[in-house]
Chains A and B, each alone.
Chain A
Amino acid sequence: MRKLADKIAEIFFSDTWAGALLWFVAAAALLALLVWFLVYSGFGEPAAPVYENF
C-alpha cells in the first residue's frame, strides 16, 4: 500500500503525461466539490420549507 502511494506521488510530481492526468483528476475533483458546495449543497437555505403552511 505504501509502495502504491509512493508510486502515485512520484508520478504526480513527475513531468510526464501520466502525471498531468493525475493533476487533471485532482483539479476536476476539487472543482466539482467547490461547485457542489456553492450551487447544489443547499448551504444557507432556510431550514423549513416555506410552503409548509399552504
Chain B
Amino acid sequence: MEPKENIGFACAYTPLPLIDAAGYAPFRILPVGDFPDQAGQLLHDNLCPHIKRILDRAMSGDLPDLAGAVFINSCDAMRRMADAWIDIHKIDTRKNGRTILIDLPATADSLSISFFRDELVRAADALADWRGKKIEPEAIAASIDKYNEISGLLVQIAQKFRQGRLDGGTAALQKIYNQAATSPFDDTLVRLKQLQDAPDSDAPKNKGVPVFLFGNVMPDPEAFEMIESCGAAIMNDDFCTGSRMFAPIADDDAGDVFSRMAEALLTRQPCARTFDPARPGKIAEDVLNNAKAAQALGVIGHTVKFCDPYLERLPFIREALKNAGMPLLLLEGDCSLRSIGQQKTRIEAFIEMLR
C-alpha cells in the first residue's frame, strides 16, 4: 500500500477522523526544533511561540511534504498563523489554496454546534476536493471508530506509564502522543496495541511527589523527563499536545457523523479559549478537580508566552487553587526545552516544598 500523504494541523480541535476518512494522514505540526526566527518578521514578535515555531519550521523547510493544511480559528494566534501559512505557500502552485481555516465557536450551545457542524462539512468538501474523491459518511464513521479506539488505547497506555508498568515514564508517554499526532491512524493503532499487550516492566517505580500538569502546549518529551528529574511524579496532564488531543467521539447511531464530531469537539475537555458562559471561570474548577482526581499534592501550570486565552484566566486558577490549599507553580515558556530548563531550580524548590 502506498504511504498516505500528510495533512498538516496545529490544534487539538482539529477533526482528525475527517482527514483519515479522506485518505490522508493527519500530521500535527509540533512546535519543536530550533530554527531562525522568521515568523516574527512576517507577523509580530508578540505572537505566541507555538505558532511562530510552526511557521519557522515551515519556512526553514523542516516539514515533510504536506498535501494541505487544516487549521482551526481557535484564537487570534491561530488565525494569524493561517494567514501567514497561506502567504508563505502562495508561490507553491500545488499548496496554494490548500489551506482551510475552520471557524470554531467559543461556546458549545446548540446553535454553535450546528454552525460548527457546517464548518466540518466545509472542511470535508475541501479535503475531498484536494483528494479528488468524495468522502462517504460510512468512511467517516469508520474513521471515528478508529479514532475512538486510539483514544481508548491512549488512556489505558497512559495509565500503564504512570503506574510504572511501562518503561520510560511520562517522557516516553509524550513520545507516544507525538507519534499518534503525526502518524496515519492505522500505524498508530498497531503501535498502541503492541504497547497495550506489552508485559509489565520490572523497572523501579517513580516514587516522586505526585503532581498534576496543565497548560496549552508542551510537546517535548525531555520537558517531562526534566520535571520528573526534579523529584516529581506526573500523575496526569491537561495539554493540547497530550491527553486533550484524542478525546472520544460519542457513539451515536442516530446523529450524523458531522454532528457527532461537532458536539464531541466542542464539548471535550476545553482549552482556555472555549468556555461555558453560564459558569465563568470554570477552568479553575476543572484544574482543581483534575488535580484532586489525580491525587496530586501540587499543580504545575505551563503556558507559552503571549497566549491570551490562558494569560487572562491564570488569575482565576491561581485564586481557586489557593483557596483550596492546592500549591501551584506557574511556568512560562517558548516551547523550547531551554526555556523550561531555565526554571529547573524553581521546579526543584516547588517539589521540595511539597514533600
A, B bound: no
